[in-house]
Structure 1
Amino acid sequence: MASKTSSILLFSLLHVFLNLRFSVAQTAVKGSYWYSGTEFPVSNINSCLFTHLFCAFAGLDPTTYGVTISHSDSTQFSTFTRTVQQKNPSVKTLLSIGGGGANTTVFAAMASQQSRRKSFIDSRSRQRVPDLRSSNYYTLNLPVQKISNSLDWINVMSYDFYGPGWSPNFTAPPAALYNATVSQVNAAAGIRDWIRAGFPANKIVLGLPFYGYAWRLVNANNNGLFAPATGAAVSTNGDLGYNQIRSFISSNTAPTVFNATVVTDYCYSGTTWIGYDDVSSVTAKVGYAKGKGLLGYFAWNVGADYNWTLSQTAFRTWGA
């Protein structure tokens, strides 16, 4: 997947929000997802650092096409807005439907017929915001003008370009902003493709990963970008939250490197190599988004931050 050229659309998942509350003229989006699977309490969210918070994930009934919420999530979901607005009354909340394990065929079936779409819309308050996902990774083969006319904005998942699960044989930047080689996938090329296709820059929100991936190096002394590797390290899939990465760095006195060419951070210790976004990368990416006239940024996910380091960095970099 990550071997495709930079002209290829970089995003494995497209988040589209049909928010009926918002006006066409948007203020900046400084957002983050909260994911119930992290067991990070909603009450612990520092909502003052965000303009928008996405509650993830609800499901979709394959028979009725109505929105479903699991019993284990029902309490936190039902009180999500009230809880986060205690610290920040102006923060907007959105319900995200789907997730990485969602059955995309159900979404396609729902969207294909007007009666099913009505069932979907009527199943929850129209004030809630569905998260529709596209499985189109390789090309921008989407009705861009119709999307632009219908939606307030799109969230672009500008990360997961590389990972030990799909590029196990070499280390790489999981969420590079720019490319080091012609064939390297990167966020800037994807944003460029959206804009060239006619999508307004001020309706695009750039994704930031509050996590990274760990590879097992073939040679501990060859520990830079694109070094030979043998798959995942530390965890089964190699994925680690930023808070876990900070712990790894501290526990192993691991050297850290910021590569300004592609805009990525990495650290290493022994044969373990981790690619991620730290303060320097987040600063550069948020600066890029604002400089390009994008609507804002969002992060996945708030529970993986470390003492609000990345959230504060993004918020302050964007400014008022």
Structure 2
Amino acid sequence: MAHTTLLYNVISLSLSLAASALAPPPDTTQQAPTTVRAGYYFADDADLWPLSALDASLYTHLYYSSLSVHPTRHTLQLPADLAQARLLASFSRELKGRNPVLRTLLSLATAGAEDAAAGAARASGDPAFAAMAADPTSRVAFVDAAVRVPRENGFDGIDVAWRFPASVVEMADFGFLVAEWRAAAPKGFLLTATVYFSNHVFGAPFAGVDYPSEAVAGSLDWINVMAFGLRPADAAATVTAFDAPLYDRASHFSVSYGVVSWLDAGVPAGKVVMGLPLYGRSWFLRNKANSGVGAPVVAAGPKQRGSNATGAMSYAEVQALTTTAGGRAPVMTSYDNGSVSSYLAVGDVWVAFDGAAFVAEKLGFAARCSLLGYFLWPVNYDDANLTVTRRASEVWEQSKISSDLRNVTGVRQGKAPFELPPALGSPSPASEPVPVPTSASFSWLCRKKLDARLHLSVLIVLLY
């Protein structure tokens, strides 16, 4: 077994070196992007959606997700699998061949974080990432490899997807890490981070942990806010719940709170990118006659080939569920305009998901906040027509030229419970095009500027 692993590593290194000779070097003179239409491509799910099937023109940036920190050596762990090594070596070259202005980034993530529905609220830290970041020597060596390997394979940058720093000390180490990355990276090399809320990471076995917002704002080109995975779908869940609501009447488990937490922490809106899930969260209902939000459940939903996990379905599988049910079970689709969320129930299976209509609504919110852009998680999970991907790109491009959406700031979700305005008209579940959100349909967003009253972070001096 050891010989096999060594052979794979040798092959991986050979492929990497070959790719560096074939792929054009990353453009290290590029200017900061004015907009981001990004997506994470899960390498482990390449069989669902090969690179050849991606429409590279729909993105400005694509992430290879992901490589991780070796659990004992604290070094960058290259793929041992031959197919994965080939994918890493060809990712940038193949995609840029179809879209020369595309920028690619290598995401460095917590091992196993490719689970699309892995709840941000259930994060429990990453010991390997933490051990690497805590030791200055390991950190320097890792930073060197994390800049060198992407450049050798034609990537234009790296993404730090440590999910998540689990203490005040680890958050401080995160700040040191991104600052050292910026110092080591060549000019124009992109640095981003995949993050949760800026403070008070809910549901984790720690409390009062805030990101070092000054280091984030000063060192990174932008942050990708994981505005999904906000509710657990495991055995701890007892009722159905939305996974990525734009608003929440009773709590801060919402997209708007997550985004605004970063704006209130001092990170410029032009460095914030909002996440959109391309998966649905599913459960088995206790009683299929009771299928609303908050209905009792008995277990996470059925395991799917796409997500390879219980409790999660790719967007393509959500759509397929409505057709394969046929006449065997009625399909009920409901839209909640107060939270800007949707769900469907087929028999005893209940799924919360973001369809094209609510993606447009969410992007209207992002444009109102003057955010830099959005990212899709993961791009492998869209349907064969790329329904959500195309709709997101179309809406964002139109919102970029709309002064009604782009020149207004101050959108907030306040302390729960949040008094919502009257519901908007329900979007139709039919295939008719959904109008791009306008200032009229979103006028209520800025009718009342909300005081988030986030706690002031306390500057902690760590004594070693």
**TM-score of the pair, normalised by structure 1:** 0.87
Q: Report the 3-state secondary structure (helix = DSSP H, G, I; strand = E; otherwise coil) of the residue aligned with 2:282.
A: strand
Whether the 8 Å CA contact 2:345–2:351 is kept in 1: the answer is yes
- Match for 2:217 among 143, 148, 166? 148
1:303–1:68 Cα change, 3 Å: same
Equivalences for residues 10-89 of structure 1 within 5 A? 21=28, 25-38=32-45, 39=47, 40-61=49-70, 62-63=72-73, 65-72=75-82, 73-89=84-100
1:184–1:281 Cα change, 3 Å: same
Name whichever structure is richer in strand by fraction. Answer: 1
Q: CA–CA distance in 1 between the matches of 2:358 and 2:79?
A: 35
- 1:221-252 Cα offsets, whole Å, 9 max, x none, are 21111111112122252110000000001122
The answer as to 2:338 corresponding to 1:264 is no
Give the deviation of 1:167 after TM superposition: 4.9
Q: Which residue of 2 aligns with 1:310?
A: 388
- 1:66-90 Cα offsets, whole Å, 9 max, x none, are 3423333110110101111122111
Q: Which residue of 1 aligns with 2:282?
A: 214
- 1:87-106 Cα offsets, whole Å, 9 max, x none, are 21111000011245268222
Q: Which residue of 2 aligns with 1:3?
A: none
User: Rg: which structure is higher?
Assistant: 2
Paired amino acid for 1:26: P
Give the deviation of 1:258 after TM superposition: 1.9
- Match for 1:107 among 129, 133, 136? 129
Q: Report the 3-state secondary structure (helix = DSSP H, G, I; strand = E; otherwise coil) of the residue aligned with 2:158.
A: coil
Runs of 4+ off more than 6 Å: none
Whether the 8 Å CA contact 1:159–1:208 is kept in 2: the answer is yes
Whether the 8 Å CA contact 1:64–1:119 is kept in 2: the answer is no
Whether the 8 Å CA contact 1:56–1:99 is kept in 2: the answer is no
RMSD: 2.2
Q: Report the 3-state secondary structure (helix = DSSP H, G, I; strand = E; otherwise coil) of the residue aligned with 1:303.
A: helix
Paired amino acid for 2:251: S
Paired amino acid for 2:127: T
Paired amino acid for 2:73: T
Q: Which residue of 2 aligns with 1:251?
A: 324
- 1:274-293 Cα offsets, whole Å, 9 max, x none, are 11111112111111111101
- Decide which moves more: 161-170 or 295-304: 161-170
Q: CA–CA distance in 1 between the matches of 2:67 and 2:158?
A: 11
Give the deviation of 1:24 after TM superposition: 7.1
Give the deviation of 1:148 after TM superposition: 0.5
Equivalences for residues 59-208 of structure 1 within 5 A? 59-61=68-70, 62-63=72-73, 65-72=75-82, 73-99=84-110, 101=112, 104-123=126-145, 124-125=148-149, 127=151, 128-133=157-162, 134-136=164-166, 137-138=201-202, 139=208, 141-165=210-234, 167-179=236-248, 181-183=249-251, 185-208=253-276
Whether the 8 Å CA contact 1:58–1:96 is kept in 2: the answer is yes
Question: Structure 1: where are the runs of 5+ without partners?
Answer: 1-18
- Decide which moves more: 136-145 or 231-240: 136-145
Q: Percent identity?
A: 30
**TM-score of the pair, normalised by structure 2:** 0.61
Q: Which residue of 2 aligns with 1:7?
A: none
Whether the 8 Å CA contact 1:258–1:265 is kept in 2: the answer is yes
Q: Which residue of 1 aligns with 2:372?
A: 295
Q: Report the 3-state secondary structure (helix = DSSP H, G, I; strand = E; otherwise coil) of the residue aligned with 1:214.
A: strand
- Structure with greater contact order relative to length (CA < 8 Å, sep ≥ 6): 1
1:115–1:161 Cα change, 3 Å: same
Paired amino acid for 1:142: Y
